[in-house]
Amino acid sequence: MITKHSRPELLFPMSKALFLSYTLKESTFTATQMSSLSQPSPGSEESGAGELYFAYGSNMHLQQMAARCGDSTLFAKGILRNYRWQTNSRGGGNVIEGNQEDFVEGIVFTVSPSDVRALRRYEGVEQQIFVERKFDIEVERVLDTALEGRKPADVAKILAQYNSGQSKVPDKFSHDKPSTSKAEEPEGEKVFRKALVYISYKYQLPGDIREEYIARMQLAMADARMLGVSKNYLETSLYPQVFGKRTGARPDEIRSLQQRPAPRTPSLDQSLNSEQ
């Protein structure tokens, strides 16, 4: 039976087009619209202002990221290889080790030390609900490169203008412009950057998603798609888990987790030293 929880358009009618068609069109952005928002900040890797963070769950929702990490700026799209997305036994998003064909797409942000402390609070690092790791993330330009380096709240305003019809959704017009983005390399070469990733080893068994997390993930997926996270990934990896229901862990999943060696997890003090 189809319920409102298995049909996202019934929860957020204005996002219906994003989930049903994912149609992206060429756009133009006026100088007035762009100048009304804050200008991009310098690249963190040059200024030493922070480091990179890979968001794969509800923090892809730009308004949520802005509220949690006030210093953060949009850096790039990202792909974590050899992992796969899951709804874990706590009812939230997680990534677990997979095989060579598995990958997780997300959004990469530049974050300050105070942002990292906030992320650790939200992710429950001290309680070991999530563990902080640094992984090599394959980075790519976002769909509209004019958004790179901007604060999430400003990017959200621009996307809202796309969604309301004040501006058309971008396709590739910005990719023709010169850029100094750290995600840009000669054509054909993959680019990797070290980024913080939060993983739950304590709660790795799959489960049903929490009701409140459904709404947050819908907003996150809508923002991620507008920034260029692939339609295929959203439809095959996230959409079924966010809007579907499970009956519990399969026997093969339980056996796999029981046989997997426990990862070494640094203490919180060791993690805090990584900022310095």
Report, in angstroms and rounded to the nearest whole number, the Rg of the chain calculated over CA atoms. 19
Do 183 and 141 touch, CB atoms closer than 8 A?
Answer: yes
Catalytic site positions: 123
Instruction: Tell me the CA distances in angstroms from 63 to 3, 128, 152, 201, one per residue in order.
Output: 27, 26, 7, 27
Has 213 been labeled as part of a binding site? no
* Rounded Cα–Cα distance for residues 122 and 101 (Å): 30
Give the Cα-Cα-Cα angle 55, 74, 98 (nearest 5 degrees).
Answer: 25
Has 53 been labeled as part of a binding site? yes
61 CB-near residues (< 8 Å, 6+ apart): 216, 219, 220, 223
Has 54 been labeled as part of a binding site? yes
* Rounded Cα–Cα distance for residues 147 and 156 (Å): 10
Has 57 been labeled as part of a binding site? yes
Residues in binding site for substrate: 53-58
Residue numbering of the annotated binding site: 53-58
